[in-house]
Amino acid sequence: MIDNAALHDRLQQEDAPVVILDVWEGEPVVMPALLKQVQLGSPHVAGYSQEGKWRGTAMIYEAWCRFVGVKPTATLADLGLPTGPVLPCPQTDSLIGAIAELTSSLCDVARDDAALRSSLTEADPALAFDRLRRNYPPRFEFSSCTITGPVPVVLRSGLKALGFQMATN
């Protein structure tokens, strides 16, 4: 989270950085002038992965068990949760290029940005922001995804560090 007014002022300077924002001060109200200045914006959906929803549900269950004074009978690990997609290895030796390609296959950030910008033209932008979050399509985290095919040595450690699984061929 960042002070939106301060960031807005900073982005008006000649040496302004490129900024991508997912969290907005005062959301669901988004500062329109700041959204115009950022490279990409999204309606605070970074935590809207399938895994994030599962973890959130588990936290609620565990809190409920504590509240009523019972021991949880299951854990998230007990449920045998589904894994994410199997993705082909990007055809590049650039880690940045590989990350961009894999990210694009999991999450359409340009779509998210366009939807957020469009939401500001609606009669109630705050309600539209909430609707974007409520209707966000399913998405998996890197750690649930498996990369298949030969993975170049120059990519392997970086992709593993990000959590990707490597298929054994």
Which CATH superfamily hosts domain 4-166?
Erythronate-4-phosphate dehydrogenase, dimerisation domain (3.30.1370.170)
- Please report, for the chain, the start and end positions of each structural domain, with discontinuous segments joined by +: 4-166
166: tokens are 């490597």
Percent of the chain with pLDDT over 70: 99
Lowest mean pLDDT among 57-61, 63-67, 74-78, 84-88: 74-78
- According to DSSP, the residues that pair with 40 across neighbouring strands are 20
Neighbours of 106 (CB within 10 A): 17
- C-alpha 158/C-alpha 100 separation (Å) is 13
Neighbouring residues of 107: CB distance < 8 A, sequence distance ≥ 6 = 139
pLDDT of the residue at 169: 60
